[in-house]
Structure 1
C-alpha cells in the first residue's frame, strides 16, 4: 500500500503538498492538484491516508441520525446570503436535514464555528456564502474535512463544489438590454477590480458593447477600489462632462443607495436623464423611486443546485469505499440571472437616421418670440397621408393650438388617402401658395423623394411627421416628429406579458407590418424584445407579416398554432381586422394588444372583448411639437432633428381617463355605458 512519501515522489511534489490536497488545508494550484490525484489513481492500492480520511467522514455521516448542515455567511444583513438561505433551508429540511446558520466575521464568531465543527460529529456538511473572500471565511473553508459547497462569486476556491450566478451573462444581458433600448452611451460602476469576478463583469460589458456596435470608452468605467474614493466624486466626474452617458450599470448592489442619493441631490432624473440597472439582489428594489431594474439572482435555482451537489457528495462519501470519491473533481455551476425591468429604465427614442429623440419641452417660446411671430404673419399648410381619422383631427387641433396663439395662419389642409400620385399633386399645388411652413406626413419612403426635394428648394420650412423619405439623410428639413416608438413597444410588450402571466397563459402570436417603415418597425422590435427578455416564461409561437391581408393572416396563424393565447398587432387599424377574424373563427378567448386608441378598439376593450392592452400616441401633443419646431426655426433657433412624444399606456382600468388625456374631451357615452354593463369589470 502506497505511503504519502510514495505518492509525493510519483507526483514530483512535497509530502506537505500531498497532505494539503487530500485534507484541503491550504490552496494548491490546479496543476499540482491534478498531479497528486493522478499519482493516487495510479497507485496499486488506495493509500492509507486516503482510506483513513474516507473512513472518518463516513463514520461521522453514519453516526448522525438526522444530519446537521451548517450555513456559514459573513453578515446577518447580507441580502445575497439571506436570499439563498430563505430557499435552501426549507428544501434541505424537507430532505430530513437540520440547518444551522452561522456568521463568521470575527475572532469570536470564528471560534464558535470552529467549536461547532470540532465538537459535533453530527455536522456532516457545510454551505458557505460570503460577500468577500476574507481571512475567517478562508480559514473555515480550507480546513474543513466534511463536504462543502461554496455559494456565490466571492469565495473562489477550486477545491470545493461551487454554485454561483453567471456574472458574465448578467453584465452582458444588462448591457445588451440598454443597447436594444436605444442607449449608446453606457457607463458601468463596479467594486474592487482585484476581485476575480469583476473580470467577468467587465468582460460581459465589453463583449455586449462590441456585439451591439457601441464604442467602448474608458471614462465610462468606474470602479470603487478604496474607501477613500467617493461614489459622489466618481459620478460628478462622469456626469459633468460634455459626453454624458444615458445609462448606468451598477455591478455591485452595495452602491445603489449612494447613486440614488447623488441623483436626488443633483436633480438628475431617473430614467429621463439617466437609466439605471443593477446586478444582484436588493430587497428594496421594487420600492425605490423609481423602482430599480435588475439582473436578479435566481435564489431558488441556486439553492436547488447547491442541494443537489451536497446530497451527491454526502451519498458518495457515505456509501462508497472507493478513494476516488474523495478526489472527485469539483463541480462549478453557473446560474443565469433573471432580468427584471422596472421603472428605472426608459427606451431612448431614435429618429430615422439614428438620432436621439429630444423632448418637446426644449421647444418653448418666450413672450417676446411669440410677438415676433405675430408681427411676421407667417403662413402654413398641412399635408396628411390620409384625412378624416380622429388622429388627424387631433393632430390638426394641436398644430392650430400653437399657431393661433402666435399668429401663424393655416391656409390649407389636405389629405391624399395614402395615394402617392395625389399627394404629389397636392404638394405641387400648395407650393404655389408660397407658404412659410409645410407640415407633412409622407405616404412612402421612396416614391415621395422628388416632390419633397422640390419643397426644400423653396423658402418653405419643411417638418416631417412619422418618418423621412429616403435620400434626405437628416438634412434639408427642420425636424421629424413622432411618438417614442421604443416606449410604445415597451408598453405593449409589458402589458401583454403581464396579462398572460396573470391569467396563467403563455403562447403568443405576432402579426406585424411587412414593409420598411422605420417607426412601425421600431415598435415591432421593441415589443418582441420585451417579450423575449423580460418574460422567459412566455413563448412566441409564430410571426405573420401583413400588408393588407391581416384578416387572412390571422386565420392562417391560428390554423397552424391553435394554442395561441395572445396576439400583438402593429396598430389599431389592422387590429380591427384581426378582431373580425377572431370573431368569425370563434376564438374570442384570445387577448389582443396593439397601438393607438380609436372608438372601435376602445369599445371592444370596454365590453371586455379581445383588446386588453393599448399604447397610444398623443396626436394633439405631436401637432403642438410640429408647430413649435416650425416657429423656432423661423426665429433662427437651433431645432433638434428628431422630437419624440411619449405614449400613453391603456388598460380597461384607465380607459376613460386615457380617452380624456388623448382626445381632450369626455369619452363617448357608448364606451362609458359598455364599461358599466361589463359585469366582470364592475365586480372587480
Structure 2
C-alpha cells in the first residue's frame, strides 16, 4: 500500500525539520484536535434505521486526496456500506495531492447535491475554502484521518475516521522486538513533519521501545521530511552506526528505498519494520528478506464506518468526534490473512506465489 502522506512536503503543509514529539508518559490515541478515540464498533444502526435510510433517496460523493491501494480500500469499504444502505454514489474525484484541485473537485461534486461527502483533506489548513461548497450545500462531511482546520465537529462536519495510531505504534514495537529476539540496536527514522497521524505513530513506537523493551535500544535517530531523500538518510545512518541491527521506517514506500540501500551496502543482516502494505515490501518479506513485518490498519473498515457515520448523521444521530479502527501485524506467516483484514482483498499474486 502506498502511504498517503509523502507528497505533503511538496504542497507546503510541512514545516521543515520539526522535532519528533516526545512523551513523558505512555501516549494515547487522540484525534487531530485532541478528541478522545472511540472504537468504530460503537457506531451501530438498527434495522429500522437502515430501512429509514434506504427510503431516503440519499446520495454520496468522494473527494479523495489520491487513489491507490490504501485509499482504494477505504473507498471500497464506503461503497459497500453505501450499497447496503441504499445510498447512491454520484461522484468520486481524486486531487493528486493538489489542494486547489481538491477544492475544485468538491465544488464540481456539490453541483450534484450529494447528501454525504467523504474526504481526506490534502491541506487541512485550507479547510474553510476547500470545503466551502459542501458547507453551503448542506452535505454531511466525514473526514478520513485528519479534519480540516477551522471547521467544528458536530456542526460543520460529522466526524473523523482513522486508526488507533498509538495501537499501530505499539504493534510496530512488538514486531520489532520479535524480529530482534528481544535484543538489539535500532536506527529510528521518523517522519519529520507536522502531520498528526505519522507523528503519533512514530512517537508511540519510540516510547514503547524505550519503556517496555530493556534489551533493545535506539542508537541513532534521523528525521525524514522528504521521502525522496530516504536513501541518503538510511545510508548515512548505517555508515555512521554500523552496529545497527534493525531500522524503523515510518511507512512502506520509503522502506522500499531503504531496501535498496541495504542491498547496496550488502547488509542483509539488518531488519526493517514499517507501516502499511505494498507489493515490493510484501514480496521482500515473504522471500525472507530484510523486512520482518508490516503493520497495517483496517483500511476497508475505515471506509465502512465513514459511510455509516454519514448515514447516521442524516438521521440526526450524534456521532463521536474521532472513530478508530484496529490494526494487524502482517508477517510472512499471515500475509494472505493480513492483506484481507486490512484491505479486504487478496494480496498481490507475486506475494502469494512467493510463499
Segments of structure 2 that go 5 or more residues without pairing to the other structure are: 1-22
In 1, Cα distance between equivalents of 2:55 and 2:353 = 49
Preserved contact between residue 353 and residue 474 of structure 1 (Cα < 8 Å): no
Report the secondary structure of 1:653's partner residue.
coil
In 1, Cα distance between equivalents of 2:261 and 2:63 = 33
Q: 2:150 aligns with which of 430, 450, 471?
A: 471
Report the secondary structure of 2:137's partner residue.
coil
| Number of residue equivalences | 330
In 2, Cα distance between equivalents of 1:453 and 1:536 = 51
Segments of structure 1 that go 5 or more residues without pairing to the other structure are: 1-175, 183-348, 676-684
Preserved contact between residue 565 and residue 590 of structure 1 (Cα < 8 Å): yes
TM-superposed CA distance for 1:605, in Å, is 0.5
TM-superposed CA distance for 1:453, in Å, is 4.2
> Residue 180 of structure 1 aligns with which residue?
26
Q: Does 1:564 align with 2:236?
A: no
In 2, Cα distance between equivalents of 1:473 and 1:567 = 39
In 2, Cα distance between equivalents of 1:473 and 1:538 = 43
Taking the TM superposition and a 5 Å limit, the aligned residue runs for 1:61-100 are none
After superposition, give the CA deviation of every residue in 1:77-114 in whole Å (9 maximum; x if it has no partner).
Answer: xxxxxxxxxxxxxxxxxxxxxxxxxxxxxxxxxxxxxx
Q: Does 1:520 align with 2:198?
A: yes
TM-superposed CA distance for 1:657, in Å, is 2.0
Q: Does 1:351 align with 2:31?
A: yes
In 1, Cα distance between equivalents of 2:343 and 2:32 = 27
In 2, Cα distance between equivalents of 1:398 and 1:484 = 18
Q: Does 1:607 align with 2:293?
A: no
In 1, Cα distance between equivalents of 2:133 and 2:337 = 43
Preserved contact between residue 127 and residue 151 of structure 2 (Cα < 8 Å): no
In 2, Cα distance between equivalents of 1:473 and 1:583 = 49
Preserved contact between residue 187 and residue 218 of structure 2 (Cα < 8 Å): yes
In 2, Cα distance between equivalents of 1:665 and 1:385 = 22
Q: Does 1:501 align with 2:181?
A: yes
> Residue 410 of structure 1 aligns with which residue?
89
> Residue 212 of structure 2 aligns with which residue?
534
Preserved contact between residue 399 and residue 623 of structure 1 (Cα < 8 Å): yes
Preserved contact between residue 420 and residue 448 of structure 1 (Cα < 8 Å): no
Preserved contact between residue 595 and residue 614 of structure 1 (Cα < 8 Å): yes
TM-superposed CA distance for 1:473, in Å, is 5.5
Q: Does 1:441 align with 2:120?
A: yes
Preserved contact between residue 463 and residue 477 of structure 1 (Cα < 8 Å): yes
> Residue 491 of structure 1 aligns with which residue?
171
In 1, Cα distance between equivalents of 2:242 and 2:294 = 23
TM-superposed CA distance for 1:482, in Å, is 0.3
TM-score normalised to the size of structure 1?
A: 0.47
Preserved contact between residue 63 and residue 106 of structure 2 (Cα < 8 Å): yes
TM-superposed CA distance for 1:611, in Å, is 0.8
In 2, Cα distance between equivalents of 1:427 and 1:533 = 45
> Residue 223 of structure 2 aligns with which residue?
545
Preserved contact between residue 144 and residue 162 of structure 2 (Cα < 8 Å): yes
In 1, Cα distance between equivalents of 2:181 and 2:344 = 33
Give the greater-gyration-radius structure (CA).
1
In 1, Cα distance between equivalents of 2:110 and 2:86 = 21
In 2, Cα distance between equivalents of 1:478 and 1:460 = 10
Specify which structure has the bigger relative contact order, considering alpha-carbon pairs within 8 angstroms and separated by 6 or more residues.
2
In 2, Cα distance between equivalents of 1:581 and 1:444 = 32
Q: Does 1:674 align with 2:354?
A: yes
In 2, Cα distance between equivalents of 1:506 and 1:409 = 53
TM-superposed CA distance for 1:449, in Å, is 4.0
In 2, Cα distance between equivalents of 1:398 and 1:662 = 11
In 2, Cα distance between equivalents of 1:622 and 1:575 = 24
Cα gap change, 1:449/1:582 in structure 2, threshold over 3 Å: closer, same or farther? farther
In 2, Cα distance between equivalents of 1:587 and 1:625 = 42
Preserved contact between residue 252 and residue 281 of structure 2 (Cα < 8 Å): yes
Taking the TM superposition and a 5 Å limit, the aligned residue runs for 1:154-553 are 179-182=25-28, 349-387=29-67, 389-472=68-151, 474=153, 476-502=156-182, 505-546=183-224, 547-548=226-227, 549-553=229-233
Report the secondary structure of 2:181's partner residue.
helix
TM-superposed CA distance for 1:536, in Å, is 2.3
After superposition, give the CA deviation of every residue in 1:475-533 in whole Å (9 maximum; x if it has no partner).
Answer: 5210000010110000001210232135xx51111111121110110100110011000
TM-superposed CA distance for 1:445, in Å, is 2.6
Structure 1 range deviating more: 412-421 or 601-610: 412-421
> Residue 619 of structure 1 aligns with which residue?
299
> Residue 25 of structure 1 aligns with which residue?
none
Preserved contact between residue 127 and residue 150 of structure 2 (Cα < 8 Å): no
Report the secondary structure of 1:350's partner residue.
coil
TM-score normalised to the size of structure 2?
A: 0.88
TM-superposed CA distance for 1:586, in Å, is 2.1
Runs of 4+ in structure 1 over 4 Å off? none
Preserved contact between residue 190 and residue 249 of structure 2 (Cα < 8 Å): yes
